[in-house]
Structures are given as C-alpha cells and as structure tokens.
Amino acid sequence: MKGLLKYLKEYKKESILAPVFKMLEASFELLVPLVIGAMINVGIANMDKNYILSMGGVLVFLGVIGLICSVTAQYYAAKAATGFAAKLRYAMFTHIQAFSYEKLDTVGTSTLITRMTSDINQVQNGVNMFLRLFLRSPFIVIGAVIMAFYVDVKAALVFAVAIPLLSVVVFGIVFANIPLYKKVQDRLDKVTLATRETLNGIRVIRAFRKEADEIREFDEKNKTLTGIQLLAGRVSALLNPLTYVIINLALVVLLYTGAFRVDVGGIKQGDVVSLVNYMSQILVELVKLVNLIVTLTKAVACASRIENVMQIKEGMGLDLEQSADKSDTNSECKVETAEMTSVSEDEKNIEETCCTMSSISSVLQDAFIQFQNVSFTYKQASEEALSNMNFSIKKGQTIGIIGGTGSGKSTLVQLIPRLYDVTKGCVMVNGKNVKDYDLDELRKMIGYVPQKAALFKGTIKDNICFGKEDASDEAIEEAILVAQAKEFIEKKEEGLDTPVEQGGRNLSGGQRQRLTIARALVRRPQILILDDSCSALDYATDAALRDGLSKLSYHPTVFLVSQRTISIQDADQILVLDDGEIVGIGKHEVLLRECEVYREIYDSQYKEEVESHES
C-alpha cells in the first residue's frame, strides 16, 4: 500500500480537507442530543413554547451545517480517491506497456486485467472510505462517551461497560470474517477464470460435446464459492442481533435506573433522552467502523496485488528502460561491430566471446543480418529453444525458414525485432547489435507479421495504418495489393472503412492474415518477417503474395517462415530447423540433395500434392 500512496500526493489538499470536514460534521452531530435534552429539560418542563421553537431552529441549523460539511467532505474524498485511481491506472498501463514478452509470459494477461480493473476499484473504494471515516468514526464513538460523562457521570457508567463489550463483539466478528472474505475472493477468481475460458473456447466445447462436463465443473466451482459466501454471511449475520441485544440491555439499564433517579430528582428527563441518543449514535458509528475495516482489508489485499505488478522491472516494451538496457549489453558481442583491429588485441576476450574470428570476417563485408552463436532459453523452460545458431543474410535476400512445429521458427524471428533477448550470442542488424539500437529505431525498420493474426477493433484502414499512422494512400494501396487483400476489401460494401470487430472476429482466418501482412507492408520496412503468415492462404494466393513481395521497389529483406516447402523453395537461402538447431542452410536444390530433414518434409508434401491431384 505504501508504494501506491505516492499517487495520492497530488491530492494532499483533498486528503486533508475531507477528514477535517467529516470531523466538523461529527462535532455538530454530537451536539444534537444536548439540544434535545435542553428542549425537554427546559422547554417542555416549563411549557415554554418559544424556547422549544428556538431550540428546534438550532436543530435545523445544526442539520444544515452538518449536511454542508458532509457534502464538502464527500466531494473532496471522491475527488482524491478517483484522481488517485486514475493516476494509478495510468501508471500501471504505462508500466505494463513496457513489459517485455518474457515478463508478459510469466505474469499472464488475464490477471493483469483483473488487477488493472477490479483491484484498482477496490483500492479506490478503500481510499474513499478511509478519508471519510478514519477520523469520524472513532471521533464519534469516543466523543459520545465523553459527552455521556459530561451529561451525567453515574448514568454514563453503563456506557463504560457496554462500549467495550460491543467492541469485542463487533471486532471479533470482523476479524473472524476477514480470512473468509479472502477465500471468497479466491474462489471468485476461479469462477471468473472458468467463465472466461469456457466462453473463449465455446466452439471447441460444443464441437467436442463437452458442455455437460463444463457445466458440471462450473457448478462445482460455483458451489464452493456459494458455500464459503454463506459461511461468511452467517458469521456476519450474528453482528446485528448480538449488538442490538447489548445495546438494548444497556438501554434497559439506563432507562430503569434513570427512571428511579428522575423520581428522586437525581437526573433530569432530558438528560436520560440525550444518553439514549448517544448510545444509538455509538452503535451506528461502530457498524460504520466495521465496514471501513472490511473495505480497508480488501483494499490492502488488492493494493499488494497491484504493487506486485508495479514492482516487476520493465524491459524492451517502451523506451523508458533504454538507458538501463544498454548498460547491460552483452560484452561478448561488442567486438565485431567496427573495431576489427581491437579484436586481435584482445585475445582473451575473443575466447570468451561466441564470435570466432573466422565467422566474423567471413560475414562482415556485406552481411545485413547475422546470428552469431545465438542460443535462447525461455524463462520458464528448462531446455534451450534455440541452440548455437550461426548464419548471415545479405540485404534484400529472401530467407525461407522451415521446420516442424516447435522447432523454434517463431522464436528465431522474434529475436530480430528484439521481442525477446538472446540468452547467449548476439543478433546483428546492419553491423550493429540489436541491443545497441534504440528500440524505436530498430522496430521502425522491421515489419513483423506474427503467427497469430491480431487485429484491433476499428476499421480495416485503422488496422492497416496501425504501424504508420501517416501512411499515404499510395502506400496503403501498394500494401493491400501485395498482401492480396485488395480483392476481398473491394468486395466489402464499405471498402477500407469496413468495421473490424475485436480481434477481427468478423473476418476469416485468411482475410485476417492478409490484413496483418498489409499492416506490416505499409511501413515499407527494410526487414519483413512473415511468421507462418500464409498458412490460411490457398496456394495460388500464396504464390501471388510471394511474387508481389519480390517486386517491391524498396527491396526488403524477407523472412518467410513456413511449414510448406513450396512456399519457400525460391528463397535465396533456406534455414532448416529441427529441435532448435539449424540442420541445413542453402538453396532448395542443394538441401534436397544434402539435408535429410528437408528432403523428408519435401517428400511428404510432394506425395500429398500428387495424391490430391490424382483423387
């Protein structure tokens, strides 16, 4: 919670004024029983109509002032709390934008959403309630006791017994309930998760006829949630009867002894009424205090969940961390940038480095992209996803990457825009380690089409211009033409202004893929990465796309990841991956002769082709 309080700093004034006005309100409230007592003692006892009316006026006055104070306090508390929440939400969003893929992998997106929404709301509530009640409630409880003693010491002894007893009951019940509330939150998370998963996978569930299973599982989760909520409810249900019994017993004692004392003239009637009033004020305020404690407990729990996210160090998402990142650049890869001479001077360094002299000198002249002894391991994984990769690519070349699923194709291409950082070795673009680039500069060079086509809610044009907002009409035209998206866009009534639903739900898989390709092309990138982006395209469209790419005037270097040999067989270089290793580099014909893995893939697909033609 402490770490989050800095977002309240700007609302210092509000955070002070809110409780102060609440205190004022409480003070006026504490005066009310005294006025009523006086009304009875003086006004009614003497049948003094004027006195009663003037005291009535005082009551109205106290009420109006109290209301004004209360509204003012409420205003400031709400302003501080919502302002605080807005700042926190903004900070969290910015923070999450700066997460690397790696961090996102570990944290998980769905809990990030809960933390940004419902958790922040809880904390906002907590701040609001705290500002309003943390001074007021104790002030009224203690103030009422003091006033009671001021009215009549002997009668107030009842308070001295009743209040501690009440406190024990009230706080006992709350503290018994807090762990139950935590469990409720936990079970609620589970129900939410189950709901989300079921709704996302509803088609699969139906296709596999698993509805009954899903319903049963949901029912179980729901029942445990209900059970624990009922238990919590039963415990809190004790609160009212127990407190009312105590309060009413105290009232009985108060009235009973009061009556005797009034008879003998030991206490006035009005004073007894004032005491009764104080007693009920205390009860109401204790219940509020309990609510405050419950809200605060929840808020603190949520705050710590938020803090956990805020404490995760950012990396590679936004520019925020550039300076920090650069400092930890792998020393091993600095050698080969420019100072070839210094390499020979520093023999020891070379031994440590991944980059041997021969590999450097052989690739340095006209290499545009180089992988030098690159290995990569995912954070949660025990094995390397890529091991010891070495290759280099010239500007403008087309590189095919092929291999079975899970062989590391996607992982490999994600290292180029630095979506992940290599574990060992280095990736060089244009003679410079990707880690030495300004992230903006690096990613502006690259058009990346991820394997899973992700579109945003908006129009087709919005989505295409996502990578370059100021794209000219010609650039858009060229992009959709090459991406083979022109035909289907033109078929839509609204053309480029056709709305795209969240995630591109209203488009087919192939249409989505073509739009993501157009989105990457519109930037006219120097490097274009297509990660299995043609899997949903038919052969003819796939071929037309490749033909279009090869004719682009700006000659991008293209990485074509594919499962189909036919898609990559014209590439200038083909990398064959198997289990995170390169098992073949070369042109189609050479690989057919020399690379067994490649030949196997080719044969299996070639046979399929023949069979499908025959049938």
**Distance between CA atoms of 391 and 412, rounded to whole angstroms?**
12
AA letter at 169: V
Instruction: Residue 403: name its binding partner from ligand ADP, Mg ion, none (Cβ under 5 to 8 Å by kind).
Output: ligand ADP
CB-neighbour burial class of residue 169 (10 A; exposed 0-12, middle 13-18, buried 19+):
middle
Residues 48, 105, 214, 462: which binds ligand ADP (CB under 6 A)? 105
For residues 74 and 451, which CB has a smaller minimum distance to Mg ion in the complex? 451
Tell me if 410 contacts Mg ion by CB under 5 A: yes
Residues 164, 406, 431, 503: which binds ligand ADP (CB under 6 A)? 406
For residues 270 and 408, which CB has a smaller minimum distance to ligand ADP in the complex? 408
Residues 409, 461, 523, 546: which binds ligand ADP (CB under 6 A)? 409
Tell me if 405 contacts ligand ADP by CB under 6 A: yes
DSSP state for residue 313 in the 8-state scheme? P
Smallest distance from ligand ADP to CB 535, Å: 11
**Distance between CA atoms of 472 and 475, rounded to whole angstroms?**
5
Which residue in the shown chain puts its C-beta closest to Mg ion?
410
For residues 450 and 531, the answer to whether their CB atoms sit within 8 Å is: yes
Beta bridge mates, 225 = none
* CA atoms within a 13 Å half-sphere pointing along the CA-CB vector of 396: 7
Tell me if 381 contacts ligand ADP by CB under 6 A: yes
Length of the chain: 615
For residues 311 and 380, which CB has a smaller minimum distance to ligand ADP in the complex? 380
Beta bridge mates, 399 = 559, 573
Locate the DSSP E strands across 487-572. 499-500, 527-531, 557-562
Give the pair of three-digit tokens for residue 203.
């088609």
For residues 436 and 329, the answer to whether their CB atoms sit within 8 Å is: yes
For residues 512-522, b (16+ Cβ closer than 10 Å) or e, as one string?
bbbbbbbbbbb
- Using the contact rule CB under 6 A, the part of the chain among 107-115, 177-185, 203-211, 405-413 near ligand ADP is 405-413
Tell me if 556 contacts ligand ADP by CB under 6 A: no
Smallest distance from ligand ADP to CB 201, Å: 20
Instruction: Please list every residue from 295 through 324 that binds ligand ADP, using CB under 6 A.
Output: none
For residues 155 and 576, which CB has a smaller minimum distance to ligand ADP in the complex? 576
Tell me if 388 contacts Mg ion by CB under 5 A: no
Instruction: Residue 103: name its binding partner from ligand ADP, Mg ion, none (Cβ under 5 to 8 Å by kind).
Output: none
Tell me if 408 contacts ligand ADP by CB under 6 A: yes
* CA atoms within a 13 Å half-sphere pointing along the CA-CB vector of 555: 5
- Using the contact rule CB under 6 A, the part of the chain among 168-176, 217-225, 335-343, 380-388 near ligand ADP is 380-388
Tell me if 100 contacts ligand ADP by CB under 6 A: no
CB-neighbour burial class of residue 594 (10 A; exposed 0-12, middle 13-18, buried 19+):
exposed
**Distance between CA atoms of 571 and 568, rounded to whole angstroms?**
5
Instruction: Residue 123: name its binding partner from ligand ADP, Mg ion, none (Cβ under 5 to 8 Å by kind).
Output: none
For residues 3 and 406, which CB has a smaller minimum distance to ligand ADP in the complex? 406
- Using the contact rule CB under 6 A, the part of the chain among 128-136, 272-280, 401-409, 492-500 near ligand ADP is 401-409
Smallest distance from ligand ADP to CB 107, Å: 12
For residues 409 and 519, which CB has a smaller minimum distance to Mg ion in the complex? 409
For residues 124 and 533, which CB has a smaller minimum distance to ligand ADP in the complex? 533
Instruction: Residue 553: name its binding partner from ligand ADP, Mg ion, none (Cβ under 5 to 8 Å by kind).
Output: none
For residues 406 and 394, the answer to whether their CB atoms sit within 8 Å is: no
**Distance between CA atoms of 162 and 236, rounded to whole angstroms?**
20
Tell me if 400 contacts ligand ADP by CB under 6 A: no
For residues 120 and 413, which CB has a smaller minimum distance to ligand ADP in the complex? 413
Phi, psi of 375 (to 5 degrees): -125, 150
Residues 143, 400, 403, 417: which binds ligand ADP (CB under 6 A)? 403
Say how many C-beta atoms besides its own lie within 10 A of residue 45's C-beta: 13
How many residues of this chain bind Mg ion (CB under 5 A)? 3
DSSP state string for 147-181: HHHHH-HHHHHHHHHHHHHHHHHHHHHHHHHHHHH
AA letter at 610: V
**Distance between CA atoms of 51 and 38, rounded to whole angstroms?**
9
Residues near Mg ion (CB under 5 A): 409-410, 451
List residues near ligand ADP by CB under 6 A: 105, 378, 380-381, 385, 403, 405-411
